[in-house]
Structure 1
Amino acid sequence: MKVKKITIHTVEMKLKSPFVTALGNVEKREFLISEVEFENGIVGWGECSAFSTPWYTEETIESCRYTLSTFLIPTIMKQRIYQHPNDLRSIFNKYRGQHMAKSCMEMAFWDAFAKDQGMPLYKMLGGIKGDIDVGIAIGMQSNEGALLQKVEAAVEQGYKRIKVKIQPGSDIRTVQAIRNRFPYVPLMADANSSYTLNDLDYLKELDQYGLMMIEQPLGHRDFVDHAKLQQHLSTPICLDESISSLDDAKTAINLGSSKVIAIKMSRVGGPSESIRIHNFCMEHGVNVWAGGMLETGIGRAHNIAIATLEGFTIPGDISASANYWSEDIIDPEIIVEQGSIICSKQAGIGYDVSRIQIERYRTDMLTFE
């Protein structure tokens, strides 16, 4: 397939309610939406889910826009003709890091190539499930009552796993309150790197609450201390921020730093690297699940597709569009029914992108021909 034109749409969308974590509050989201048009008329869509400030990763929307416009897109346009989305890996290898910018482009290529083959994206990726179980991430709330209300609503909606955010001073009581009210709900806690090994005795108290896992309790680039911590906990540790490549996954597994790995497609550089991490984890008996980053429907659709692979055995953070947005930029919006999402049989990502909605939220646009 030959690339004809690439457009990068910058859109800004306001969340229905602020999403609060140990690292900060998110009230609105800025995205880069990639639109890649090929000579045969097929259009592929991708998304850069970096944040506006470098609080989660080193990349930001602004840095990704620069990387895309200065390096990645000119490199793509120079070659023009591609046999498979994996071709992007070889031409991007000379640029270190920049995973979210790379993912933005690779997603669009996978969508377009699946459309060209007339198959749903999840099947082109090697997925084997026609539907996936999903969980929901609940940000920190102003009080215990508000948190329990959120959890109750998620349980009533049938979500198969609940994730809550914790930090020192808002952890044991938080988990205890949920367990007292919902003793059997599949529950995990996400610490977003809020603790150190000095908190060992405190973290061990969480073992009594039957958590599925504790996500990223220690430093965002740490493997050694997580391995030490796991030796003292019966609750599995899940690494999230620490995993940005297959090499990171190998390090974590070989050191015993993590019994579970969260694969966030944007953070690891796209579908190709996500598949490689998934395959390695399967070979070594490590469970994986698809993480979320408050994406638009485009990013969520790509996450749904990757979550259909065999090794994704834990419900991921792929909740309904309506949980976060008054209106999404895809049609139809993503719907969760009794904790599951039925995978679209439509070719590509399975959802139509609304140009009207993109124009409504668009703040900037770059075109390359």
Structure 2
Amino acid sequence: MKIERIELVHVRLPLVGRFRTSFGTDTGRDTFLLRVVGGETEGWAEFGGDPDPLYCSEFAASARLALRDHLVPRVVRLGDVSAAAVGPAVAAVKGHRLAKAVLETAVLDAELRSYGMSFATYLGAVRDRVPAGVSVGIADSVPELIDDVAGYLGEGYARIKLKIEPGWDVEPVRAVRAEFGDDLPLQVDANTAYSLADAEHLRRLDEFGLLLIEQPLAEDDLRGHAALAGRLRTPICLDESITSARDAATALELGACRVINVKPARVGGYLEARRVHDVAAASGVPVWCGGMLETGVGRAANLALAALPGFVLPGDVSASGRYYAEDLTPPFVLDGGHLNVPDGPGIGVDVLPGPLSRHTVSRHDLYTR
């Protein structure tokens, strides 16, 4: 594919409700889309990060600079561009995985649309619908949390994930278990909020029969996670620590986790995400697809990934209405606790001009031929 134009579209969408984690509170989604045009086809992708470097070291402004000054020039110099060639072309640039991911994904969407092939088919999906979990933010009170969880269960979500932090962990989990019973698939996510010194406190979560505890320690503390894993019955799942298939193999060899949360943006794109899946599957370790409050642009591709055979746990692939009153694509709607995997060309959904116009802050050409 000969790339003729790469456009960055800055978008800002309000959330239907605030979303609080151990590292901050979101009231809206402020990110950008990348549009790649080549010949008779175009591709779209959504940047998976935030305006601030709180979840990880990358953030939207840094990604824009990396794309404009380093990544896009290396890719367009290829001439005839394929998604498989993007990774090697930008390999010399250290880090910036989220920026690399959005570029590779937009190219892949355009390429697959030109072939008439879906993301699901390309990645190797084995299901046409996947169970949907929901991530529940830190609430102001336990009664408010109970109301939130009840609402999501009433909508049909197959799994509940509670965000936790020091001071908001054991008692909220205890209350949810007491209210909704032991059969509720339940897990917690700490987003690196604890240290190994908290091991005895975290052991108190063992009594609640959780599916997993996600990323309790710092992202660079694999040794600490391995030590913590030896003290807990609850399986440890790694998120921020896994930035590549090599990281996944190292973490599994060290015994630092028994589950992996795969976020395509965090590992550099869907091709590397599939490799993480393959490494975990070879070790008999379950994976699930995490989320970054994506609009339908990012959610569509995530659903295709979540339909791979090793994704045996419900992921954070919630319906559009979980976060947005108006999505940038036709909305994804929960059906019996599941979401349908798009089967159209590329990511399988189109960006709607009306919503895109209403939520666009600015547009910038990163490349024109």
Q: Which bin holds the TM-score, normalised by the shorter protein? A: over 0.9
Instruction: Give the corresponding residue for 1:147.
Output: 145
For the pair 1:165 / 2:163, whether they are aligned, the reply is yes
Give yes or no for contact 1:9–1:34 (8 Å, CA) kept in 2: yes
Partner amino acid for 1:17? Answer: G
Matches of 1:309 and 1:140, distance apart in 2:
30
**What SS does structure 1 have at the residue aligned with 2:46?**
strand
Q: Which stretches in structure 1 are left out of the alignment for 5+ residues?
A: none
For the pair 1:362 / 2:343, whether they are aligned, the reply is no
Q: CA deviation at 1:252?
A: 0.6
Q: CA deviation at 1:359?
A: 2.1
Q: CA deviation at 1:356?
A: 2.5
Root mean square deviation of aligned Cα? 1.0
Q: CA deviation at 1:132?
A: 0.8
Instruction: Give the corresponding residue for 1:135.
Output: 133
Q: Where in structure 1 do 4 or more consecutive aligned residues deviate above 3 Å?
A: none
Give yes or no for contact 1:281–1:288 (8 Å, CA) kept in 2: yes
Instruction: Give the corresponding residue for 2:3.
Output: 3
Instruction: Give the corresponding residue for 1:54.
Output: 53
Bigger mean CA deviation after superposition, 341-350 or 236-245 = 341-350
Matches of 1:306 and 1:4, distance apart in 2:
28
1:67-106 C-alpha deviation (Å, 9 max, x unpaired): 1111111122222312x41111110111111011011111
Matches of 1:47 and 1:221, distance apart in 2:
26
Instruction: Give the corresponding residue for 2:260.
Output: 261
Match of 2:334 among 328, 333, 336: 336
Give yes or no for contact 1:135–1:160 (8 Å, CA) kept in 2: yes
Q: CA deviation at 1:344?
A: 2.4
Instruction: Give the corresponding residue for 1:16.
Output: 16
Matches of 1:36 and 1:120, distance apart in 2:
17
**What SS does structure 2 have at the residue aligned with 1:150?**
helix
Give yes or no for contact 1:157–1:337 (8 Å, CA) kept in 2: no
Q: CA deviation at 1:212?
A: 0.1
Residue correspondence of structure 1 range 199-214 to structure 2 within 5 A? 199-214=198-213
Instruction: Give the corresponding residue for 2:293.
Output: 294
Q: CA deviation at 1:306?
A: 0.8
Q: CA deviation at 1:217?
A: 0.7
**What SS does structure 1 have at the residue aligned with 2:302?**
helix
Q: Which stretches in structure 2 are left out of the alignment for 5+ residues?
A: none
TM-score (norm 2): 0.97
Q: CA deviation at 1:197?
A: 1.4
Give yes or no for contact 2:300–2:342 (8 Å, CA) kept in 1: no
**What SS does structure 2 have at the residue aligned with 1:116?**
helix
Matches of 2:103 and 2:295, distance apart in 1:
16
Partner amino acid for 2:337? Answer: G
**What SS does structure 2 have at the residue aligned with 1:58?**
coil
1:288-333 C-alpha deviation (Å, 9 max, x unpaired): 0000001111011111111111111111001011111110101x21
**What SS does structure 2 have at the residue aligned with 1:353?**
coil
Matches of 2:2 and 2:323, distance apart in 1:
36
Instruction: Give the corresponding residue for 1:321.
Output: 320
Residue correspondence of structure 1 range 86-97 to structure 2 within 5 A? 86-97=84-95
Instruction: Give the corresponding residue for 1:227.
Output: 226
Matches of 2:243 and 2:162, distance apart in 1:
22
TM-score (norm 1): 0.97
Instruction: Give the corresponding residue for 1:190.
Output: 189
**What SS does structure 1 have at the residue aligned with 2:9?**
strand
Q: Percent identity?
A: 37
Q: CA deviation at 1:141?
A: 0.8
Residue correspondence of structure 1 range 67-106 to structure 2 within 5 A? 67-82=66-81, 84-106=82-104
1:236-263 C-alpha deviation (Å, 9 max, x unpaired): 0000111111121111101000000000
Matches of 2:342 and 2:49, distance apart in 1:
26
Matches of 1:5 and 1:194, distance apart in 2:
42
1:318-358 C-alpha deviation (Å, 9 max, x unpaired): 1011111110101x211111210112222111111112222
